[in-house]
């Protein structure tokens, strides 16, 4: 779980402040084996 939190923080730090909240709602971080998997949930019109 700790790796997931670090990855979310890393992703958030690299997003423009004006888009951060909207984009972070779409980012899903999962632990898989020895690493993490980052997915982006796509909405309508994406």
Segments forming the whole domain that contains residue 32: 2-40
CA atoms within 13 A on the CB side of 17: 0
Identify the residue whose tokens are 């971080």.
Answer: 29
Q: Residue 8 domain-assigned?
A: yes
Q: Residue 35 domain-assigned?
A: yes
Identify the residue whose tokens are 């990855």.
Answer: 7
Q: Please spell the DSSP secondary structure of 8-35, one letter per residue.
A: HHHHHHTS-HHHHHHHHTTEEEEEETTE
pTM value?
Answer: 0.74
Q: Residue 46 domain-assigned?
A: no
Residue range 2-42, pLDDT digits in tens: 899 999 999 999 999 999 999 999 999 999 989 999 999 99
Q: Structural domain tally of the chain? A: 1
């Amino acid at each position: 779980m700790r790796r997931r939190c670090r990855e979310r923080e890393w992703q958030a730090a690299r997003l423009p402040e004006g888009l951060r909240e909207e984009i972070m709602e779409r980012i899903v971080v999962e632990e898989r084996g020895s690493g993490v998997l980052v997915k982006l949930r796509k909405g309508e019109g994406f």
